[in-house]
Amino acid sequence: MSLAPHHPRDPAGWCAVLVAAFFALCLVRLGVPSKPYFDEVHYLPAARALLDGSDWLNREHPMLGKQVIAAGIALLGDTPFAWRLPSALAGALALWAAMRALWFASLRAYATIAYGLLLASGFLLFVHARIAMLDAFMVAFLAVAFWQCAAAVREPEHGRRSLALAGIALGLALAAKWNAAALAPLPGLAFLGARLHACGWKGLWGHRGAPVPGVRLPEAALWLGAVPIAVYAASFWPAWWIEPAEMADRGFIGLHQMMLQMQESVVKPHPYQSMWFDWVIDRRAIWYLYEPVDGAQRGVLLIGNPLSMLAGLVAVGWAAWAGVKGRRMDALAVAAVYAVSLGFWLFAAKPVQFYYHYFVPSMALLAALALALDELRTRGWGWLSWTILTGSLALFVWFYPILSAGPLPDARGFEKWMWIDSWR
């Protein structure tokens, strides 16, 4: 008799433990510094203005992220902890959703847990989960969208519901920050490509075949095309009522022309600006904070984990090769997400760019690394896989004081972490 098929065990319990530990660590010193720092100086006044209905500030960005920050203030008071708690919750959600996405895409428990450890120790998610900026919200909703898309493929009996949730999450990601725009069309295009590959031209009207049997292309276009646009548009409802009422005066299209013009008008050089080739080699850091505050010298540095970010470049190359030559759809997907999200910044009409624009590509890069570590383990190189994971965690512990605004001994206390001059 033939053996029963292998059913890999879902590591959801371990994922939940990892998310709980990450969230608890985010809460440590969440109220430090006790004053706004870095781009909080833009988003907090915008959130307060939304709360009292007095104005719409920071108009070059959509409204949702500032609305979420405002909700934290409304619920818990205008305190540093309340400003940043929504970002901490979004960071925890991003970690959970990203792991679930990789699990449904690969059905590889080791890769899923490795991905969670790499994300938690990769610096970018942790830093943005502790500051009242828009990036954590955007990444969280993008992760939910890809989780639900992968779930729809893996569990087609719930495909319609998962695609609907994915569409809502895509709209929310766009409404948090426009950086999600590069990836927003990808699920719909992937659905179209998979259906045509499986069924040929009959796939244009049929309901059978990959990626989600039972869902026709027009319905997929509804969930992954029309719903995100509707959700995004609905997020601007306060613009009808807040004076000056930009929506009423300009209309939806005119409003976005104004926002795009504001995005493109920032041309003054900035000491922390960088380009995509700086990001991929982890060359240019940003000091979100470095000053005496709350009784000590403190700093918050944004840079990628040097080990996982550089190892991830090799992993992305392997993922592309494995996807094309080995027909590993999970590997091909993460390589495509990395290429699209990074390639967007090669052509984006934003003259001044920063390392935090690498946040989304880095999520895909670490997914590729997790899959590569799983492959190493499968091929008998488990010691190397565990060495990279342990090294990533060790570097996070080493850099933790300047990722979390920890107290430093003096004004020169940062120097032991400055491995290269461009991090200064």
Domain annotation covers residue 3:
no
367 burial (CB, 10 Å; 0-12 / 13-18 / 19+) is buried
Instruction: List the strands of the sheet with 296-302, edge to edge.
Output: 286-293, 296-302, 407-408
Q: How many CA atoms lie within 13 A of 66 on its CB side?
A: 28
Question: Nearest 5°: CA angle at 131, between 130 and 134?
Answer: 120
pLDDT of residue 139: 98
On the question of pLDDT at 3 being above 60, the answer is no
Q: What confidence category does residue 252 fall into, taking pLDDT thresholds of 50, 70 and 90?
A: confident
Q: Which domain holds residue 390?
A: 31-423
Domain annotation covers residue 137:
yes
For the chain, what is the domain count? Answer: 1
Provide the percentage of residues in the chain whose pLDDT is more than 70: 97
What residues have CB less than 8 Å from 365, skipping those under 6 apart?
Answer: 309, 312, 313, 315, 316, 338
Mean pLDDT score across all residues of the chain? 94
Q: Judge contact between 302 and 329, C-beta under 8 A.
A: no
On the question of pLDDT at 245 being above 80, the answer is no
Domain annotation covers residue 15:
no
On the question of pLDDT at 243 being above 80, the answer is no
* Of 38, 49, 106, 47, the residue nearest 73 (C-alpha): 47
Domain annotation covers residue 24:
no
Q: Judge contact between 137 and 176, C-beta under 8 A.
A: yes
Q: What confidence category does residue 122 fall into, taking pLDDT thresholds of 50, 70 and 90?
A: very high
Domain annotation covers residue 255:
yes
Domain annotation covers residue 339:
yes
Q: What is the pLDDT of residues 270-295, one digit of tens each?
A: 889 999 999 999 999 999 999 999 99
Domain annotation covers residue 13:
no
Q: What confidence category does residue 266 fall into, taking pLDDT thresholds of 50, 70 and 90?
A: confident
* Of 87, 50, 40, 44, the residue nearest 235 (C-alpha): 50
Domain annotation covers residue 23:
no
On the question of pLDDT at 227 being above 70, the answer is yes
pLDDT of residue 377: 97
Between β-strands 407-408 and 286-293, what pairing exists: parallel, antiparallel or unpaired? unpaired
67 burial (CB, 10 Å; 0-12 / 13-18 / 19+) is buried
